[in-house]
Structure 1
Amino acid sequence: MNTSARPQSDASRLREFQLFLYRHIPLTESMQLRLDAYTGQELQISAPLAPNINDKGTAFGGSASTLKIICGWSLLKLNLIDLSMPHDIVISKSTCRWHKPLSDALSAHARFKTDTSWDDFIEKFKKSNRNMSIPLQVEIHDARGEICSSMQASYAIIQPNS
């Protein structure tokens, strides 16, 4: 989505949102999830390997999947907060690919798959009286920047009950 008008976030805002995640999705605190960077168009989050390790000494697939889902959800949540738009967000569809094992810290990057403007989205959402879907791409990279896992996902944005 075209979010060029969205403000860049500072470290205190990311920390505040990270604490929101810890309170409302407790698994994120156990994973030691950290929000690293947010531009409006992309979000980067990470988690250390130690609390997310499997019996082979690599990242546990469940942790990697969770990190990808949270990363995409958070990218949308932060944008909708920026727009002061009442909403609920749920993942509606995802397809994951596993490219290679990850033996480093987990680093996830979410971005929009399309270049739809927020203004168009908001207009359609307010008129629709129903859910809208937004497609995202999320990848987990190793320390060398190589893709270890990728996810194509659609998130439903739902108008909350009044």
Structure 2
Amino acid sequence: MKSCKHLQSVLHSEIPLTRAMEISVAHCDVNRVELTAPLEPNINHKCTAFGGSLYSVAVLCGWSFVFHQMKLHNLTGHIVIQHSEVDYLLPVDGEIRAVCELNDSNVLSRFLKTYHRKGLARIKLEIKVLFNGKDALLFRGHYVVHQ
């Protein structure tokens, strides 16, 4: 839980938008990071979550996953999003919940080995925004970490 509080503190201090969106770190462990944000500060004219807010929570969930992995492995670096694709599948008229889960340890292992060797590495992540037990948004992002 301490690492989740640290991650949330970093988000709120390094990326001020996360405070305005009221993003919270709901879960973080070795394989999964989950961010949430209430509807109210992220609402649009249709009383659903603004598409830009959904995108932002998703991209930040991936960023948070990479940041958390770097912290777990005592590494530092600059994390940036290089490329992304997003599919908006369903409207969200409640809490925004984004989940980044990596079940293939080989992907992470290759990423970490490359970063150790070159000081630069890329990782492709999939983030889902879930609502009422269904995928409301599917985000695929390529993140780069460099020294």
Once residues 124 and 23 of structure 1 are traced to their aligned partners in structure 2, the CA distance between those partners, rounded to angstroms, is: 29
Once residues 141 and 122 of structure 1 are traced to their aligned partners in structure 2, the CA distance between those partners, rounded to angstroms, is: 28
Once residues 112 and 92 of structure 1 are traced to their aligned partners in structure 2, the CA distance between those partners, rounded to angstroms, is: 19
The amino acid that maps onto 1:149 is L
The amino acid that maps onto 2:30 is G
2:133 aligned with 1:145: yes
Once residues 135 and 53 of structure 2 are traced to their aligned partners in structure 1, the CA distance between those partners, rounded to angstroms, is: 16
The amino acid that maps onto 2:21 is M
Structural RMSD (CA): 1.6
Gaps of 5+ in 2: none
Between Structure 1 and Structure 2, the one with more helix by share is 2
2:31 aligned with 1:13: no
Once residues 149 and 121 of structure 1 are traced to their aligned partners in structure 2, the CA distance between those partners, rounded to angstroms, is: 25
**Which residue number in structure 2 is paired with residue 44 of structure 1?**
34
Once residues 37 and 146 of structure 1 are traced to their aligned partners in structure 2, the CA distance between those partners, rounded to angstroms, is: 19
Between Structure 1 and Structure 2, the one with more strand by share is 2
Structure 1 63/128 Cα, relative in aligned 2: closer, same or farther at 3 Å?
Answer: same
Segments ≥4 residues shifted beyond 6 Å: none
2:77 aligned with 1:79: no
2:113 aligned with 1:123: yes
Structure 1 contact 114–135 (Cα < 8 Å) conserved = no
The amino acid that maps onto 1:133 is R
* Percent identity (aligned): 24
Q: Give the TM-score, by structure 1 length.
A: 0.84
Q: Give the TM-score, by structure 2 length.
A: 0.92
Question: Which structure's CA Rg is the greater one?
Answer: 1
Q: Helix, strand or coil: the match of 2:80?
A: strand
Structure 1 37/126 Cα, relative in aligned 2: closer, same or farther at 3 Å?
Answer: same
